[in-house]
Amino acid sequence: MRNFDLTPLYRASVGFDRLADVVDRAMTADLAAPTYPPYNIEKTGEDSYRISIAVAGFSADDLTVEMRDGAVVVSARKAEEDENRTYLHRGIATRAFERKFTLADHVRVEGASHSDGMLHIDLIREVPEALKPRRIEIAKTAPRVEKLDS
């Protein structure tokens, strides 16, 4: 694995420490990162996204979606099951999990829904008016002529 020194980024910029943290986390991510539960991230519009997580076996009451430290954190805890059940095969995993998705600046959660074993989290990017491109009007003034005293 390669190591990157982000010191030049800190020296030549202000306010990009969060970006550097994201890059650092991505570069040092564990190769054996958990793959449960499976999920999709899709772009649904110019400024909208959707995270879809397969949560078969979990009800909406078992799931929690939170905004924490610039990230969406999805967690699930299954209620205790009946001990009298005997499974011949148990292929539907209902183990507890926590999945974290780091969000870019100005991206917020618009809503979440649960249906057909899928949890959908809708996101939207809202750039503040102050950061949107705007045209600056250039004032036109008559050329200034100065008289020379002789």
Determine the 3-state secondary structure of 60 from DSSP: helix
Residue 29 confidence (pLDDT) above 70? no
What pTM did the predictor assign? 0.69
User: 102-109 long-range CB contacts below 8 Å, 24 or more apart?
Assistant: 102/22, 102/25, 102/70, 102/71, 103/70, 103/71, 103/72, 105/18, 106/131, 107/49, 108/67, 109/65, 109/67, 109/72
**Per-residue pLDDT tens over the stretch 61-105:** 999 999 998 899 999 998 777 778 888 888 887 889 999 998 888
Q: List the domains of the chain with CATH numbers.
A: 1-33 (no CATH), 36-82+90-128 (2.60.40.790)
pLDDT band at 13; cut points 50, 70, 90 = low
